[in-house]
Amino acid sequence: MSGTENKGTSRRAVLRGGLAAGAGLAVAGAARAEGTPDPLITEVQDWASSFGDPVDATPYGMPIRFESQVVRRNVEWLTESPVSSINFTPIHALEGTITPQGCAFERHHSGAIELSKPDYRLMIDGLVETPLVFTYEDLTRFPRETRTAFCECAANGGMEWGGAQLEGCQFTQGMIHNMEYVGVPLRLLLEEAGVKPEGKWVYAEGADASSNGRSMPLEKAMDDVLVAFYANGEALRKEHGYPVRLVVPGFEGNMWVKWLRRIGVYDQAVESREETSKYTDLMPDGRARKWTWVMDAKSVITSPSPQAPIYHGKGPLVITGLAWSGHGKVTRVDVSLDGGKNWQEAELTGEAQSKALTRFRLNIDWDGSELLLQSRAVDETGYVQPTKDALRAIRGTNSVYHNNGIQTWWVHENGEVENVEVA
Amino acid sequence: APAFAEKLGLGRPALPAEIAAWDVAVLPDGTGLPEGSGDVATGDEVFAEKCATCHGDFAEGIDNWPVLAGGEGSLKDRRPVKTIGSYWPHLSTVWDYIHRSMPFGAAQTVTPDEAYAITAFLLYSNGIVEDDFVLSKENFTSITMPNADGFYPDDRAESEYATFSGEACMTDCAAEVKVTKRAVTLNVTPTDPDGRPAGTLPNPDPV
């Protein structure tokens, strides 16, 4: 009754210009202002007269049904099994920087396991003075730290190395979430065990069948890595590692080991499956980079985007998006309306946090003409987000991971938006 | 913070049996390998029983399941085939990953001897050893994988960061911009019933 259902208009019809034609909307808007009074105002609506839900209806709430499109999505053909697979955060529909946990992406290698706090154990062994076992309760007694950080899958955008493939930033940039974590610095746990001088590498593995073991240098482990048990105010979700995961700020998501069960200290890297066969980046000469841990500066315009077309016609238009860098703070985001010929600086909202998602916005007056929208992030090291072509000139098209190239959206006159590449 | 310089006395010492149960990692130099051995023929049998339904009788892969053998010399191809033989640098990873995480859905059911045998069979499938080869803890590190030298540590700091840093062009940066690729031509994105990309936001103010 109040326009909450999706119209059954085909994409073809939309592309012909039927639904969101700017001129038609301008007329409609004027009619509403000057003509027939709006019955949503002049007639008493049911919700303004009778009761809504009581406070005991929903002990733990879900989004209102009208937001049912704001959910994780998966793409079946990307992987051979749904338990070693990926789904995507609906970043096209979100604002600000904090990702609601319930729609924050998942990536498992043997499914999301159920591990209770009483069953939980964390072992620290290897080159330490005293190998230790902690219960969950032990961990809650260590001093805590809070840190907001993005977790971006190394493969985010990997399907786009060869060209424009998937339609929507949920699919092309949505292997990411950003949460406020509370946990124990890994440094404190390692100090409790006492790392021996010959201990140079830390190997973390999970309690699940895949284990997902990864090696990291001791310096990173002693710097800003958290053994986290709260995210966005509450316990981790099952699918995000309940009850304990590793938070590795700025590093590729694969290293954020979930259901963390063991930290081994070694004198060398383990060179596990997830850092040899996978998460190594093939280069044009047939050799491959390994240990590409940091996620470089990146951004995407989340609206308008293919899943967030412009329905409202010409006039004021909010361009909004996300920027982030594994090297530190985002200091600037530029936006282009013409495919990179000309750029203007967007506004960063809130205080940019290091290695965390940052929201940017640019308000424009859209004249209804075609746009080629791009965003370009700059971080505090001076690194400027490259184009896909600039990356491919160095890396070729088979590196699978670490695609932080500039995204282009082709905005049509009817408000529809396409994923394209330009040259 | 002086208050935290002292240990807190939390946790308790791990027992040797607990460490042995959970620390089963094998490093490239062979650290972590248990006693045991297995030959190609035994590996073939175990593989047929526990692995071949997904990975094929010859480790060649079935349907879209991972290919474990083949692809030699393809790493510079337009579509490289990255397998144990063509890509993996260390044999330790093969043994470790199989022993800990395979078979898919029934992990940690492979004994050390079976892991040696399967690893021997995979070396044979990749043309690295003869069919009478016996792999053991003792000769394990004598095997050099074909792509052992195929990797180098992240060099982006040297090869990319200088190129991508500095003043960014703000005006008149390109003479002409043309659309060269369109995702709609592939049409491989999940869709809503109306044909739009799945999850497209509804018009909040339909006419």
Instruction: Give A282's contacts in chain B (Cβ within 8 Å).
Output: 75, 80, 82
Query: Residues 388..417 of A with a Cβ closer than 8 Å to B: which?
Result: 390, 394, 398, 410
A26 CB within 8 Å of a chain B CB: no
Looking at the predicted structure, is the pLDDT value of residue A371 above 80?
Answer: yes
Regions in chain B scoring below 50 on pLDDT: 1-4
Provide the pLDDT confidence category of residue A373 given band limits of 50, 70 and 90: very high
Q: What is the pLDDT of residue B175?
A: 81
Q: What is the pLDDT of residue A32?
A: 58
Provide the pLDDT confidence category of residue A6 given band limits of 50, 70 and 90: very low
Q: Are A206 and A261 in contact (CB under 8 A)?
A: yes
Q: What is the pLDDT of residues B146-197, one digit of tens each?
A: 999 999 999 999 999 999 999 999 999 988 899 999 999 999 999 999 999 9
> Is B119 or A18 the better-scoring residue by pLDDT?
B119
> Considering CB atoms only, which of B7, B160, B179 is closest to A410?
B179
A298 forms beta bridges with: A324
Q: What is the mean pLDDT of chain A?
A: 93
> Considering CB atoms only, which of B7, B153, B164 is closest to A383?
B164
Domains of chain A: 103-289 (3.90.420.10), 298-420 (2.60.40.650)
CA atoms within 13 A on the CB side of B60: 3
Q: Are B112 and B35 in contact (CB under 8 A)?
A: yes
Q: What is the pLDDT of residues A66-123, one digit of tens each?
A: 999 999 999 999 999 999 999 999 999 999 999 999 999 999 999 999 999 999 999 9
Q: H-helix or E-strand containing A245?
A: strand A245-247
Instruction: Give B160's contacts in chain A (Cβ within 8 Å).
Output: 386, 394
Residue with tokens 């309940």, as numbered in its chain: A242
Q: What is the pLDDT of residue A33?
A: 60
Handedness of CA A95, A97, A98, A101 (dihedral sign): positive
Contact: B182, A420; criterion CB under 8 Å: yes
Instruction: Give A108's contacts in chain B (Cβ within 8 Å).
Output: none
> Considering CB atoms only, which of B7, B88, B180 is closest to A192?
B7
A347 forms beta bridges with: A361
Please report the ipTM that was assigned to this predicted complex.
0.95
Alpha-helical segments (H) within A20-107: 22-34, 39-42
Predicted TM-score (pTM) of this structure = 0.94
Q: Are A276 and B152 in contact (CB under 8 A)?
A: no
Instruction: Give B193's contacts in chain A (Cβ within 8 Å).
Output: 8
A68 CB within 8 Å of a chain B CB: no
Q: What is the pLDDT of residue B5?
A: 56
Residues B10 and B2: their CA atoms lie apart, in Å, by: 17
- CA-based nearest residue to A63, from A97, A93, A33: A93
What 8-state DSSP symbol labels residue B171? Answer: S
Contact: B14, A381; criterion CB under 8 Å: no
What is the mean pLDDT of the segment spanning A323-340? Answer: 98
Peptide bond into A37 cis (omega under 30): no
Helices (H) and strands (E) in chain A, counts: 8, 23
Q: What is the pLDDT of residue A18?
A: 38
Q: What is the pLDDT of residues A196-252, one digit of tens each?
A: 999 999 999 999 999 999 999 999 999 999 999 999 999 999 999 999 999 999 999
Residue with tokens 């090696």, as numbered in its chain: A215
Q: What is the pLDDT of residue B207?
A: 73
Q: What is the pLDDT of residue A321?
A: 98
Min Cα separation A79/chain B (Å): 8
> Is A30 or A168 the better-scoring residue by pLDDT?
A168
Q: What is the pLDDT of residues A260-284, one digit of tens each?
A: 999 999 999 999 999 999 999 999 9
Q: What is the pLDDT of residue A24?
A: 37
Q: What is the pLDDT of residue A13?
A: 40
Q: What is the pLDDT of residues A87-103, one digit of tens each?
A: 999 999 999 999 999 99
A362 forms beta bridges with: A319
Write out the DSSP string of A117-182: TTT-EEEEEESBSS-EEEEHHHHHTS--EEEEEEEE-TTTTGGGTTS--SSSHHHHH-SEEEEEEE
Q: What is the pLDDT of residue A3?
A: 40
Smallest CA–CA distance from B88 into chain A, residue: A277
